[in-house]
């Protein structure tokens, strides 16, 4: 009798599990300079990128997004350019960044994380660093 009840409960649990909504099998983390870090794992519906980031409350008015895939590929996008972009799930690509106004190579597949970072308006290019380095060497006679 106990075995019958156990098997009945196992069958019911299996049926209920089969009735649950479809979920993404490849979750990704959203973290960085935002008030709330989160893991996206309970949906496969497309997510508007700006709505998602805004809902997590960026700590700074201007920010960039670093979107990384599980194979190590990543892109850095200005937060000012993510309107009308989305994150979409498909079994063949996992979560993927989709944009009609960014280059095709920005379509990161199998997203593992999205990092919100403060936009650094004072960052130097490599050329500027080299020029500055030479200027300093010259000024101290190296």
In a domain, 15, yes or no: no
pLDDT reported for residue 26:
78
In a domain, 132, yes or no: no
In a domain, 77, yes or no: yes
Give yes or no for residue 18 having a pLDDT over 60.
no
In a domain, 114, yes or no: yes
Q: Left (φ > 0), alpha (ψ -120 to 50) or beta: where does 113 sit? A: beta
For 42-68, write each residue's pLDDT tens digit.
Answer: 788 899 999 999 999 999 889 999 999
In a domain, 133, yes or no: no
pTM for the whole structure = 0.67
In a domain, 141, yes or no: no
In a domain, 64, yes or no: yes
Identify the CATH number of the domain in which residue 106 sits.
Answer: 3.90.420.10
In a domain, 95, yes or no: yes
Burial 68-84 (b: 16+ CB within 10 A, else e): bbeeeeebebebebbee
What domain count does the chain have? 1
pLDDT reported for residue 124:
54
**Domain range enclosing 45:** 22-119
Give yes or no for residue 72 having a pLDDT over 80.
yes
């Amino acid at each position: 009798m106990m075995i019958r009840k156990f098997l009945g409960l196992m069958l019911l649990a299996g049926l209920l599990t089969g009735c649950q909504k479809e979920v993404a099998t490849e979750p990704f983390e959203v973290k960085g300079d935002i008030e709330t870090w989160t893991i996206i794992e309970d949906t496969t519906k497309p997510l508007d990128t700006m709505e998602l980031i805004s809902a997590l409350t960026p700590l700074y008015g201007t920010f960039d997004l670093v979107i990384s895939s599980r194979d190590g590929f990543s892109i850095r996008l200005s937060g000012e350019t993510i309107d009308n972009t989305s994150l979409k799930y498909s079994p063949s690509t996992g979560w993927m960044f989709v944009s009609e106004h960014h280059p095709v190579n920005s379509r990161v597949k199998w997203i593992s994380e999205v990092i919100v970072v403060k936009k650094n308006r004072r960052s130097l290019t490599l050329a500027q660093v080299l020029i500055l380095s030479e200027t300093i060497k010259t000024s101290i006679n190296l």
